[in-house]
Structures are given as structure tokens and as C-alpha cells.
Amino acid sequence: MFAGLAIASAISMVYHKNPLYSAISLVGVFISLSCIYVTLAAPFIAAVQILIYAGAIMVLVVFVIMLLNLDDDKPLNRLRYLYALGGGLGVILLAQTLFIFYAVMKAPNTPADQTMTAGKTLSLRRAMYTEYLLPVEIVGVLLLMAIIGAVILARRLSQPQLELVVEHELELEHKADH
Amino acid sequence: MESVLKTAFPFVVITVAVLIAFQMVLMIVAYTVLAERKILGWIQGRIGPNRVGPWGVLQPFADLLKFIFKEDLVPDKSTKFVYFLAPMVALTCALMPMVVYPFGPMITSVDWSFLPFGLGEGIHVLPLTIARIDVGVLFVLGITSVGVYGIALAGWSSNSKYSLMGGLRSSAQMISYELAMGASVIGVVMLSGTLDLNGIIQAQITSPFRWFIIPQFIGFFVFLISAFAETNRVPFDLPEAETELVAGFHTEYSALKFALFFMAEYVNMFTVSVMCTVLFLGGWYVPGLEPLARLVGLGEYVHSGTIAYALISHMAFIGKICAFLFFYIWVRGTLPRFRFDQLMNFGWKFLLPVALGNVILTIIVVFFLNR
């Protein structure tokens, strides 16, 4: 049921011309995905999915769309060649999905181990900070790099401009002191 | 027949539990509105509503009737679907965290075998929580963060400059203060070692401090301040600043749709009060209740697991929440409004660093205590 909801939301996301409707549909996709995680006994991932994707990232996207107030009919002709690219990638994705289906079908059908609690918070923590410590650290450093990069890109100023900004701020502080 | 009853029984129980909790929360919310008007009246040297029923007790119902019978205006150039969706999203997201609230301790002393058809078989405990999920804290934070959509979409779809400004301000404010709020909770989670709300209360019972407000007072203050911002209350009620924005994001809403927003705001107040109580004030736990009962000679009836103990604890839980709700109203009667840039500076440059500092401090202390 949730998978159907997710697919329906995804289709409506792609087909809506209005970017805000697409964004709302994407939120629908995320929420249905997190419902699927809950049914798969992974509540932590479900909660994080809602908290980060639906709660933080999509709010920013909606925010930007609301501020920009994009027109409905953008010139799409310039991006024709992207259709071919997208089609190619779609075919690859489809092939991959079919391959996964095939692999799952071929795998021996063992009953699920009831003692395994892969999705529980505690076991997740144990796995993250013992067995997979190095990947976790690497991801952390990568994210930090991304944050610093974003700050630098957002404040890319030439040297004289930078000096002006600094002077301005100093002046403000000077004023605040009085 | 019996097997059908047996399979249906848990669903019936859960439905009844949800209905009871729903009623309780909504009644508390309705009377919070009345209390707010009364207390604000007293603070400002007025009497407050006193016409409907004795002492104005029936005022919430009169308000509701009025909301229902008012004309429902829809702006001509609004985006209809989103305009209808927004209040529903706001209220749904406000009410959903209700399922994980720990309303009281487990009742273990009752023998359920008196139920007909052997329905009581295998039931030993009656938890006063609808659903125990082991990521309760994250669940509540996540759902409340989805509630931002209600406000943002309401502001956008009304097609009015005041609404849009109000919605933008509100969502910016809520995203900013969510960070500080999340960071202030981390300290408590580290001390208790779990994300489960019931588990956090248990951790407080076994901890030497009894209530986490003592070791985590920095986190408590950060949480309290960001809770005010999260619920758009004074002094952070910029989305609804009348002097500049008419009524903010719900300028164009009338009748029952406005009532939904109004209710969502007060339910959100209730939610953050519950979170504050559970995380920092021990939830339903009353320190020294069992020794006191033994001293008075009622130790037989009042100990962990009995109905009396659960009732007293539940009352304590509601009392703590009401204290927080009163604090909200008190602050509203006392403080003026921030300016928007002050609000943003305060959130990002003061509250977030303080919360992160608290996290680091807690890490160090916990590390050395556990060695």
C-alpha cells in the first residue's frame, strides 16, 4: 500500500508543471518511504528520513520555490538532449531492478532470523561505531568539507570586497559599543 | 467467534486508547485557550470571559459553535487545493505525536482474567502509552518539523502578501530553532542512553539527580526558549505580528479552517510542554511518592504497578504540563515582541552555540563518569 502511495506521489512529482506541487509530492514520497521503513522494522531510519528529508531539506526547497515564484511554462527546448540522457539512465535503472529481482528470486528462501534487530537504534549504534567506524568517519569528514565549501561558495568575494565587508562589520560593532 | 474476538481485541483496545487520549488532549487544549484569556485578563487588570456558563467555563464550546457557523471565505485567487490542505496538515502533524506520549507508569497489579471469552489471557501489563517505539524523541521532533508545511503552504496558497510574509517568517524561524531544540535534547539522550520516552523517564528515576533538569539545566533553558519559537508564541510570534502583517499566515483563513490553525498552535504548545516534562522534569515520576505512602501506611496500595500509583503519577504528569502551559501564558502577558533580525541572530549566534557547547560538556562529563 505504501509502495503504491510512494509510486503515485513520485509520478505526480514528475508530471506536475508547477514546481511547488512537485515539491509537495516529493514530501509524499518521503513520508511513504518512511512508512515502508517502519513496516520493515527500522524505526530509526524512518524517523531520520522524516526528520531530515521531509522536515529540513524539503522545507528549504519549498521555501526557495515560494520566494522565486517560478513561471509555469519555462523554455524546455534548450534541454531536449537531456531526454535522451534520462531515457538511457532509466533503462539502466530498470535493468538493475530486474537484476535485483532475479537475484532475490534465485537466493535460497531462508526464514527471517527473529533475533536479528538490524533496524533498532541500539544495534545500529553498535554497528556504526565498531565495525563500520572508518566509513562513518569518512562520511563525517566529507560532509564537513561540503559545509565549508558551501560557505565559501556563498561568500565568494574578491579581496577588496572582503575588506569592505570586514570594515563595515567592525564599524557596526563600534557603533554597538556606544 | 472467539478467535475473531481475540484478534479484534487489540485493535479495539488501541482505538479506545487513541480516542481517550485524543479527547483528553483536546479538552486540555480547549481549556488552555480559556485559561489564557482569563490569566491574560488578570495580568492586564481585566476580568476575562465570564458570560458563558459559571465563571466562563463553557466559553470554549461557545467559541467552537461560532467557528462552525461562521461563513467560510475562500480567497478568489488562492490555490484551492493547497489552501484546503494546509490547515489539515498543520493539525494532523500537531496531533500525531500524541501516540508516543508516556501518560503514566505501567499498571501491572491488575489480573485481567475476569474479562469474558478469555480475552485477558496473556495480558499482564497495561502501559499508559499508546505505542512504544524506541525512537520516540526523534518521532516527535520529526512530526513537528513536518508541521512547518502547514504554515508555509497556508502562507503561499492564500495569495496575499501578508500571508506569504508570515508563512516565510514562520518557516524560517521554525527551521532555525529546530536545530537548537534538537541539539538541546542530545544531552538528555546521552545521559539516559535511549531515544524512547518511557526509557528516558526510567533513566531519570534511576539517576542520582531524579530529574534531568539538574544536570541539564543549560539544555533545559535552550529547549524552553526554542519551544517558544517553535510554537510561534510571544516573544517569538513574528509570523503573526499584527502591527506589520495583519494576522500572518492565517490572514485569509476564516471559520473552521482558522479554528484548525488555532487548535494546531495550542496542541503544539501542549506537545512541547509534554516533551519538556518528559525530558527534563521526570515525566510522570513523583520523587519520594513510594516512601511517603509507606510512611502514611498506604504502602500496600501505592507502589509501582498499582492503579493508585498510576493515577497519582498521571495527575502529576498533567500538573507539570499545566505548569508549563501557565508559564507560556505568563510570558505572553509579560514580554514584548522581538524584531526579526534579533530573532534570527539570537537563534543562530547564541542559542545554537550554547546548545552545542552543552552537548560537548555532556560528552566530556559522561565520558569521565563512565570510566
Q: How far apart are CA B353 and CA B222, in angstroms?
A: 10
Nearest CB among B138, B164, B194 relative to A48 is that of: B138
The boundaries of the domain holding residue B146 are 2-99+128-304+315-369
Does residue B170 contact residue B152 with C-beta atoms inside 8 Å? Answer: yes
Please give the pLDDT value at position A108.
66
Coil, strand or helix at B107: strand
- Give the distance between the most distant pair of CA atoms in chain B: 70
Please give the pLDDT value at position A109.
62
List % helix, strand, coil for chain A (3-state, nearest 5): 80, 0, 20
Q: Is the Cα torsion angle B44, B47, B53, B54 positive or negative in sign?
A: positive
The answer to the question of residue B50 being in a domain is yes
Nearest CA-CA distance, residue A137 and chain B, Å: 18
Nearest CA-CA distance, residue B231 and chain A, Å: 15
Contact A62 B167 (CB under 8 A): no
Interface test with A, best of B149, B168, B345, B348 (most A CBs within 10 A): B149
Does residue B188 contact residue B216 with C-beta atoms inside 8 Å? Answer: yes
Contact B153 A120 (CB under 8 A): no
Name residues whose C-beta falls within 8 Å of residue B182's C-beta, 6 or more positions apart in sequence.
Answer: B141
Within 10 angstroms of residue B17's Cβ, the number of other Cβ atoms is 18
Nearest CA-CA distance, residue A53 and chain B, Å: 10
Please give the pLDDT value at position A69.
63
Q: How far apart are CA B8 and CA B15, in angstroms?
A: 11
Asked if residue A168 has pLDDT above 70, the reply is yes
According to DSSP, residue B117 is labeled G
Please give the pLDDT value at position A101.
82
Within 10 angstroms of residue A92's Cβ, the number of other Cβ atoms is 10
The answer to the question of residue B105 being in a domain is no
Confidence class of residue A70 from pLDDT cuts 50, 70 and 90? low
Does the N-terminal peptide bond of residue B235 adopt cis geometry, omega within 30 degrees of 0?
yes
Please give the pLDDT value at position B244.
67
Name residues whose C-beta falls within 8 Å of residue B71's C-beta, 6 or more positions apart in sequence.
Answer: B254, B255
Residue in this structure with the C-alpha cell 516573544, named with its chain if needed: B235
Q: Of A69-73, A79-83, B53-57, B303-307, which one has max mean pLDDT?
A: B53-57
Does residue B21 contact residue B98 with C-beta atoms inside 8 Å? Answer: yes
What's the whole-number average pLDDT of chain A?
A: 76
The mean pLDDT value for A104-123 works out to 62
* β-bridge mates for residue B107, sequence order: B126
Asked if residue A114 has pLDDT above 70, the reply is no
- Which has the closest alpha carbon to B139: B175, B182, B177, B180? B182
Coil, strand or helix at A117: coil
Q: How far apart are CA A135 and CA A131, in angstroms?
A: 9
Nearest chain B alpha carbon to A28:
B146
The mean pLDDT value for A102-129 works out to 66
Contact B146 A43 (CB under 8 A): no
Nearest chain B alpha carbon to A51:
B142
Q: How many residues can be counted in chain A?
A: 178
Within 10 angstroms of residue B300's Cβ, the number of other Cβ atoms is 10
- Angle formed by the axes of helices B136-146 and B161-192, nearest 10°: 170
| CATH 1.20.120.1200 in chain A, residue ranges | 1-74
Coil, strand or helix at B126: strand
**Entry pTM:** 0.80
Interface test with A, best of B85, B134, B170 (most A CBs within 10 A): B134
Q: How far apart are CA B249 and CA B159, in angstroms?
A: 10
Name residues whose C-beta falls within 8 Å of residue B11's C-beta, 6 or more positions apart in sequence.
Answer: none
- Which has the closest alpha carbon to B278: B57, B129, B153, B177? B129
**Lookup: cell for B320:** 507539570
Please give the pLDDT value at position A110.
61
Contact B145 A59 (CB under 8 A): yes
| Domain count along chain B | 1
Q: How far apart are CA B305 and CA B318, in angstroms?
A: 19
Q: What is the CATH number assigned to the segment(s) A1-74?
A: 1.20.120.1200
Residue type, B350: F
The answer to the question of residue B39 being in a domain is yes
Does residue A88 contact residue A56 with C-beta atoms inside 8 Å? Answer: no
Q: Per-residue pLDDT tens, chain B, 371 aa: give them.
A: 667 777 777 788 888 888 888 888 888 888 888 888 888 888 888 887 877 778 878 888 888 888 888 877 777 777 777 888 888 888 888 888 888 888 878 777 776 666 766 666 666 677 777 777 778 888 888 888 888 888 888 877 777 778 778 788 888 888 888 888 888 888 888 888 778 888 888 888 887 777 888 888 888 888 988 888 888 777 777 666 666 667 777 777 777 888 888 888 888 888 889 888 888 888 788 877 777 877 877 767 777 777 778 888 888 888 888 898 888 888 888 887 777 778 888 888 888 889 889 889 888 888 888 77
A 8-37 residues inside an 8 A Cβ radius of B? 20, 24, 27, 31
Residue burial B286-297, b: 16+ Cβ < 10 Å; e: rest: beebeeebeeee
Contact A48 B139 (CB under 8 A): no
The answer to the question of residue B349 being in a domain is yes
Residues in B closer than 8 angstroms to A60, CB to CB, are 175
Residues in A closer than 8 angstroms to B149, CB to CB, are 24, 27, 59, 62
The answer to the question of residue B116 being in a domain is no
